[in-house]
Structure 1
Amino acid sequence: MRFGVIGVIAAITHYGIAIYLTNSHFSAAWANLIAFVIAFWVSYFGHRYFSFDAGDVSHQQTLPRFILVAVLGFILNESLLLLMLHFTKISMALGLPFIIILTAISTFILSRQFAFNTAGTRSK
């Protein structure tokens, strides 16, 4: 549930910025990249402190792992977006929410199993 709350906040951030930037004549690829980077920080801090309660674990452990997860998520997100725009007539405004949801599912699994998996690393 907590992951979902942060995920929705990050997704709304991502979507809103991406749509705003494309309406401001940025290319879809650049708008999506900029929106993703901004939503990354919403996601990282939200998941670190709220979703996975990993606030007592060093950023040196969680941040590099989450960056890797986010980069993999972005590659998936950007690839799906560009494929959708190239091969279909689906607009970015209509298709991006589905792509964000699919990316969020994969990010959740990787975050839980890898980025914020703190078994044995917490301070006692």
Structure 2
Amino acid sequence: MINRQTFWQLARFGVIGVLAALTHYAIAILLTNHGIAAGWANLVAFVTAFWVSYFGHRYFSFDAGDLSHQQTLPRFILVAVIGFIFNETLLLLMLRFTTISIDIGLPFIIILTAAMTFILSRQFAFDTTDSDKRAPR
């Protein structure tokens, strides 16, 4: 069972995740509809959504605004890359070694990736438990 604080932190994490996903989707569709190649459109959309995710999690999900960007940004980039590799690896393994279709399996992979990303973000990228990490005011 999770405590009330963790529950609401997880809920805020979910809200930011949905906003980042919608940002990614909207920009990718907008750019491809204006003639930008899908690969480039997806890259621009991912980078834009990354910033929505970073600032949303930094200030809303984890209340880590008083930690320095020099500490949190590199860590969050690492978390995002790990999350992408984890997601992509699970997807490729599922498609290669099972008969599970992508429309059935992908939601589970996304949930597993989100759970892992939440834990890494909370315990590593935006860890606010050590007062020595906080930037001076």
| TM-score with structure 1 setting the length | 0.72
Q: Distance in 2 between matches of 1:59 and 1:43?
A: 14
Asked which structure has the greater RCO (Cα within 8 Å, sep 6+), the reply is 1
TM-score (norm 2): 0.66
Partner of 1:75: 85
Superposition deviation, residue 25 in structure 1: 8.7
* Residues in 2 aligned to 1:69 and 1:79: alpha-carbon distance in whole angstroms: 15
Which residue does the alignment assign to 2:58?
Answer: 48
Paired residues for 1:8-23 under 5 Å: 8-14=18-24, 16=25
Matches of 2:110 and 2:52, distance apart in 1:
14
* Count of matched residue pairs: 120
8 Å CA contact 1:73, 1:103 repeated in 2? yes
Question: Contact between 1:36 and 1:74, CA under 8 Å: does it hold in 2?
Answer: no
In the aligned structure 2, how far is the partner of 1:13 from the partner of 1:47?
15
Gaps of 5+ in 2: 1-10
How is 1:1-124 mapped onto 2 (pairs within 5 angstroms)? 1-14=11-24, 16=25, 36-87=46-97, 88=99, 90-91=101-102, 93-118=103-128, 119-120=130-131, 121-122=133-134, 123=136
Larger Rg: 2
